[in-house]
Amino acid sequence: MAYHQKKCEHCSMWTDGSIHNCAFCGGVLDEVYKKENSARKLKLPEKPIIRINPEDGPFTIFFKRIVQFHQLVFYWIVSIVIYFITWVVF
């Protein structure tokens, strides 16, 4: 059976590429790649509205829904203001 093998960056042994850690030294495989990937994910713009976590209680979710609604209204007003500013200027 052919495994997809990877060379460990830490101990230079060939190990099973489908696992996350080297079977010999326990080092993280593709560490550089994963770091670059997570850095790229961090650069993506976060949604400007509050997040609802699945573990939040019903009161917290209800409160966050209200906050989200006001945030959306706020962004809606801001976008309309920007629209009118550009409309007046140009």
The helix (H) or strand (E) run that includes residue 6 is strand 5-7
Distance (Å, whole) CA 22 – CA 40: 24
Region binding Zn ion by CB under 5 A among candidate stretches 10-18, 50-58, 67-75, 77-85: 10-18
From the list 9-17, 35-43, 62-70, 73-81, the region that binds Zn ion by CB under 5 A is 9-17
First to last CA, the chain: 68
Determine the Cα–Cα distance for residues 31 and 83; give it in Å rounded to an integer: 45
- Tokens representing 49 are 């509205």
27 binds Zn ion (CB under 5 A): yes
Contact with Zn ion (CB under 5 A) among 3, 5, 7, 11: 11
Q: Which one of residues 17, 18, 25, 66 is an interface residue with Zn ion (CB under 5 A)?
A: 25
Q: Could you list the residues that contact Zn ion (CB under 5 A)? A: 8, 10-11, 22, 24-25, 27
